[in-house]
Amino acid sequence: MKYDLAVIGSGPGGYVAAIRAAQLKMKVAIIERYPTLGGTCLNVGCIPSKALLDSSEHYLQAAKHFGEHGIGTGALKLDWEIMRGRKDKVVDDNVKGIAFLMKKNKIDVHAGHATLLGSEAIRIVGADGKSTEITSTSVIIATGSKPADLPFAKIDKVKLISSTEALALKSVPKELVIIGAGVIGCELGSVYARLGTKVRIVEYLNSAIPTMDATMGKELGKSLKALGIELYLGHKVKAVDTKGKKVKVVATAPGGEDVELSGDYCMMAVGRRPYTDNLGLENVKVSTDPRGFIKVNEHLETAHPGIYAIGDVIGGAMLAHKAEEEGVFVVERLAGQKPHINYRAIPWVVYTWPEVAGVGYTEEELKQSNRAYKVGSFPYRALGRARAANESEGVVKVLADKDTDEILGVHMFGARAADMIAEAVVALEYRASAEDIARISHAHPTFTEALKEACLAATENRALHL
Amino acid sequence: MLEVKVPSPGESVSEVTISNWLRADGDFVNMNDELFEIESEKATLSVSAESSGVLKILIPAGTTVKVGALACTIDTAASAGTVPPAKVEPSPAKAEQKGAASAVVTATAQKIASPAADKILREAGRSTSDVAKGSGKGGRVTKEGALKAANTPQVAAIAPAPVPAAALANGPVAQIKAAPAHMPPQVAKVAYTGERIERREKMSPLRLKVAERLVSVRQTTAMLTTFNEIDMSNLMQVRKEYKDKFEQQHSVRLGFMSFFTKAVTESLKYFPAVNASIEGDEVVYHDYVDMGIAVQAPKGLVVPVLRNAESMTLAQVEMEIERLAARARNNQLTIDEMTGGTYTISNGGVFGSLMSTPILNPPQSAILGMHKIEERPIAVNGQVVIRPMMYVAMSYDHRIIDGRESVGFLVRVKEYLENPVRLLLQV
Ligand SMILES: Cc1cc2nc3c(=O)[nH]c(=O)nc-3n(C[C@H](O)[C@H](O)[C@H](O)COP(=O)(O)OP(=O)(O)OC[C@H]3O[C@@H](n4cnc5c(N)ncnc54)[C@H](O)[C@@H]3O)c2cc1C
């Protein structure tokens, strides 16, 4: 039997594409080389990291802030085994959920490593070495990414680890060095810093989360420092030595002098590389760019007609929800529909606490393009609910077109920003003006009032509570 | 800066109407993005960007212009990240509001489609300019507005109800099921509000041409229709048995259309007049078959032609139909691909028609109408049995085709289809 669609990889890109295709009455196969479904995101990415972030934040609250609420805890105890075990259970529940969804949608799950043999044929080699072959009219490559490392410092998974190992350490380390202050570095750095680890983050650029709006990087940097994390910004790592009992990382400071940092582990968080190992790209006309990302056209079709690629493996924002949108996009196009992805309206979130979230243009981008814009900001400390919750650290910043008042970007740092950004995404998709949001009722007292106030400030500098 | 000129949709066309802008002024467009649609007496075509950049529209939708006129420019120097905001057209409403409480100019929301509305408009080949007035906040185009626009008939988007085959400017409307099964043909729905509203819309150049030709066919030919019915049991059995193998072997689905095409080309051998046409006082016999088969295009039905269908295999017929259908869906068919057929098959069955009289596509002299397959009780050897049945109708020009020929031809088609093995044996 021939499938209408074969999806290689069961991450958020792949499994969502498969479900959408089944909804559209296609006969679908999904192929996954790992024993569990869900890809990076569910197994070693979004979900386990959030489980540990939530647990460790509870611990920090109990350790540092319960007293302010008048709650005494006696001697606080951390049981890492239970904390880590809960994370494993969360992952387990989630990946089983995907298996259920595949079954419910009558999607054939093939376990094994997929290699493209030609236009429509795919060989699947299982863990037991058994090889099978399937054929499919269309193929989606959703093979995702793997942690990247540096030419002189290769991940050994023992001392020099990636996020995957960092999510499953045997014990809470005393000292941890992290290379890279991007989203993953800041999130996992926060987890361990909250649990008492001395965390040192080295970053080549001059700010944490350098791709996001600069205000956010600045605010997050302050908050990480307050958590006890040492941030070495503008530092260039030149050597990592794993020979001794401790890992030693040598970096050149902006002034030119070398600093040496040591840790029980060094976590490499310098980004992720596309994963296309043994995928058989040489057997088809699929081409990659110099960094290994699969090249696609605006329909996400590769140079080989009928073979598409989505998610981390094609680059762009390496986010689960971006991969999902692309999966739905490709499948709906296959069904003759005409969907559209607005890449400007894909939000970015950093799940530290306070959280960081942003969507649309950053202020730096607007400056660079000489766009006339205006800014409206509103601090959490002026927000009743934030004070009530003991969460006064934070700011919401709205960027709007100077003439049309159209919202061009929204950036938030503060409690619950991850959830609050959704409203800004809707605003962007509907091309709302700052005044539009300002004229929409927001429940009181909530954190979302900060967005309304920032919009009032952007409209004509008339925030009510400032 | 790239200048985009109005292309010629075919020979002897000098004027076209820019019917639709698919992208907004000031948008950043990528190479191959569809920019606008043009409509002429002969066809509707879309024009794509040959390079990426920022679009500047020079001729508004609805304007009739000469071929070669400058339609828009694409500023290729601009990159995706530096798109300037879409120009705000001062709306009259805003002018009136001047001096009111808010001094701030709000973004002109009109012509902004919500994400769902945007998808609906794209699929219908429409743009926000087809929505009379956005009903959302600030005149935004809502999902409701987009649905209404998408369902308002435009350029023969829907065949006139009682006659499944209506001639388009370049041919009759034959129908095959070109779109995937999960895309039901859209049917216009008008909301009755209880008021006595009448709406008037200009007929498009294409529709006008269609109308003119339909009437002329009636006036200049002696059109008659003969009917028959086909027991589809054997054909369905063959298809059921071999459709997976066929698909594996040929990478194309096995449909009924290939059988009908071959049944017709084989039968035409015995009845050459059915494949002929009148030119002045001569009859032109074609010793080949160029088969017109209509497919669904975004703007309505078009009739691409399968060249030398007589020498194609079943698989080649299916593949060619699939190829032409894809081109039709993407508005890529050229005039050449749609002209010169010697015979046409139309399928009203797609819309559920049980019986109808197709209309000729001159200079062709005959057209076959397929219809819906329906289980019906019939008598076989004195027994009432239930069989999947299809009525077929052939309209023909009685000036050159005799009743004996037309009936004989249709009976032969019927026999081939009831016993597909005879196609193979050519008996
Ligand atoms: C620690 C961490 C935290 C993250 N947190 C977030 C977050 O909070 N929010 C967010 O949006 N994103 C987050 N991400 C990023 C997110 O996980 C990825 O963007 C997302 O998983 C990409 O999805 P994908 O479908 O493209 O690929 P993946 O999820 O990487 O899935 C690819 C799958 O394909 C399989 N595969 C590869 N090759 C083959 C083959 N040849 N045959 C068969 N199977 C194959 C792989 O085994 C894998 O299961 C995080 C990532 C990490 C590492």
Which has the higher per-residue pLDDT, A177 or B103? Answer: A177
The amino acid sitting at A247 is V
Residue with tokens 């400071």: A253
A217 conformational bin, left if phi > 0, alpha if psi -120 to 50, beta if neither? alpha
What sign for the dihedral angle of Cα A13, A14, A16, A18? positive
- Residue B356, token pair as written in the block: 């109808």
The residues of A whose Cβ lies within 8 A of any Cβ of B are 1-2, 24-25, 120, 135, 137, 297-298, 335-340, 342, 365, 368-371, 401, 403-406, 429-433, 435-436, 459-460
For residue A432, the chain B residues in CB contact (below 8 A) are 107
Q: What is the pLDDT of residue B99?
A: 33
Q: What is the mean pLDDT of chain B?
A: 79
Q: From CA B140, how far away is CA B117, in angstroms rounded?
A: 10
* Residue A100 CB neighbour total at 10 angstroms: 11
CATH 3.30.390.30 correct for A346-458? yes
Closest CA to B280 of B344, B217, B220, B216: B220
For residue A298, the chain B residues in CB contact (below 8 A) are 30, 32-33
Tell me whether residues A430 and B114 touch, CB distance under 8 A: yes
The arithmetic mean of pLDDT across residues B171-185, rounded, is 35
Axis crossing angle, helix A183-194 with helix A46-60, rounded to the nearest 10: 40
Superfamily of domain A2-146+273-341 in the CATH hierarchy: FAD/NAD(P)-binding domain (3.50.50.60)
Residue B330 pLDDT class (50, 70, 90 cuts): confident
- Residues of chain B above pLDDT 70, percent: 81
pLDDT tens digits, A358-381: 999 999 999 999 999 999 999 999
Domains B110-152 and B173-425 share a fold: no
Tell me whether residues B248 and A404 touch, CB distance under 8 A: no
Q: What is the pLDDT of residue B39?
A: 81
Contact A358, A216 (CB under 8 A): yes
- Residues of chain A above pLDDT 70, percent: 100
The arithmetic mean of pLDDT across residues B361-388, rounded, is 93
Q: Compute the distance from residue B75 Cα to the ligand 1 centre, in Å.
A: 37
The arithmetic mean of pLDDT across residues B138-160, rounded, is 66
Q: What is the pLDDT of residue A32?
A: 98
Q: What ranges do the domains of chain B cover?
A: 1-78, 110-152, 173-425
B104, pLDDT greater than 50 = no
Provide the b/e sequence for B161-179 (b: ≥16 CB within 10 Å). eebbbbbbbbbbbbbbbbb
Which has the higher per-residue pLDDT, B153 or B62? Answer: B62
B89, pLDDT greater than 50 = no
pLDDT tens digits, A49-106: 999 999 999 999 999 999 999 999 999 999 999 999 999 999 999 999 999 999 999 9
* Residue B201 CB neighbour total at 10 angstroms: 9
The amino acid sitting at B26 is G
Q: From CA A61, how far away is CA A47, in angstroms rounded?
A: 21
Q: What is the pLDDT of residue B5?
A: 87
Which has the higher per-residue pLDDT, B188 or B132? Answer: B132
Pocket test of ligand 1: the residue of A46, A133, A169, A356 to mutate, having most ligand atoms within 8 Å of its CB, is: A46
B42, pLDDT greater than 50 = yes
Q: Compute the distance from residue A312 Cα to the ligand 1 centre, in Å.
A: 7
Instruction: Please give, one letter per residue, the 3-state secondary structure of chain B.
Output: CEEEECCCCCCCCCEEEEEEECCCCCCEECCCCEEEEEECCCCEEEEECCCCEEEEECCCCCCEEECCCEEEEEECCCCHHHCCCCCCCCCHHHHHHCCCCCCCCCCCCCCCECHHHHHHHHHCCCCHHHCCCCCCHHHCECHHHHHHHHHCCCCCCCCCCCCCCCCECCECCCCCCCCCCCCCCCCCCCCCCCCCCCCCCCCCHHHHHHHHHHHHHHHHCCEEEEEEEEECHHHHHHHHHHHHHHHHHHCCCCCCHHHHHHHHHHHHHHCHHHHCEEECCEEECCCCCCEEECEEECCEEECCEECCHHHCCHHHHHHHHHHHHHHHHCCCCCHHHHCCCCEEEEEHHHHCCCCCCCCCCCCCCEEEEECCCEEEEEEECCEEEEEEEEEEEEEEECCCCCHHHHHHHHHHHHHHHHCCHHHHHCC
A433, pLDDT greater than 70 = yes
The arithmetic mean of pLDDT across residues B265-294, rounded, is 94
Q: Which CATH number fits domain B1-78: 3.90.25.10, 3.40.50.1100, 2.40.50.100, 2.30.29.30?
A: 2.40.50.100
Report the range of poorest mean pLDDT among A57-71, A122-136, A250-264, B89-103: B89-103
Q: What is the pLDDT of residue B299?
A: 66
The CATH T-level fold of domain B110-152 is: Dihydrolipoamide Transferase (4.10.320)
Domains A160-270 and A346-458 share a fold: no
The amino acid sitting at A29 is A
Backbone phi, psi, residue A423, to 5°: -65, -40
Contact B17, B93 (CB under 8 A): no
Tell me whether residues B107 and A429 touch, CB distance under 8 A: no
Tell me whether residues B82 and A369 touch, CB distance under 8 A: yes
Q: What ranges do the domains of chain A cover?
A: 2-146+273-341, 160-270, 346-458
Q: Which CATH number fits domain A160-270: 3.20.20.105, 3.30.930.10, 3.40.190.10, 3.50.50.60?
A: 3.50.50.60
Q: What is the mean pLDDT of chain A?
A: 96
The arithmetic mean of pLDDT across residues A444-450, rounded, is 97
B160, pLDDT greater than 60 = no
Protein residues whose CB sits closer than 6 Å to any atom of ligand 1: A 8-14, 31-34, 39-41, 45-46, 49, 113-114, 142-145, 163, 184, 275, 279, 311-313, 318-321, 323, 351
Task: Indicate the pTM of the whole model.
Answer: 0.64
Which has the higher per-residue pLDDT, A383 or B189? Answer: A383
Axis crossing angle, helix A46-60 with helix A80-104, rounded to the nearest 10: 150
Residue A241 pLDDT class (50, 70, 90 cuts): very high
Q: What is the pLDDT of residue B107?
A: 41
Report the range of poorest mean pLDDT among A131-140, B267-276, B350-359: B350-359
The CATH T-level fold of domain B173-425 is: Chloramphenicol Acetyltransferase (3.30.559)
The arithmetic mean of pLDDT across residues A274-298, rounded, is 96
Q: What is the pLDDT of residue B12?
A: 64
Q: What is the pLDDT of residue B301?
A: 74
By CA distance, what is A120's nearest residue in B?
B251
Closest CA to A322 of A16, A9, A114: A16
Q: What is the pLDDT of residue B117?
A: 86
- Nearest CB partner across the interface for B105, out of A338, A403, A429: A403
- Nearest CB partner across the interface for A338, out of B30, B88, B123: B123
Q: What is the pLDDT of residue B196?
A: 83
Tell me whether residues A137 and B251 touch, CB distance under 8 A: yes
Which has the higher per-residue pLDDT, B416 or B139? Answer: B416
Q: From CA A219, how far away is CA A356, in angstroms rounded?
A: 9
By CA distance, what is B330's nearest residue in A?
A336
B97, pLDDT greater than 80 = no
Q: Whose CA is nearest to atom 8 of ligand 1?
A: A46
Report the range of poorest mean pLDDT among A95-99, A415-419, B84-88, B263-267: B84-88
pLDDT tens digits, A250-259: 999 999 999 9
Catalytic annotation present for B398: yes
Catalytic annotation present for B402: yes
Pairing of strands B44-48, B34-39: antiparallel
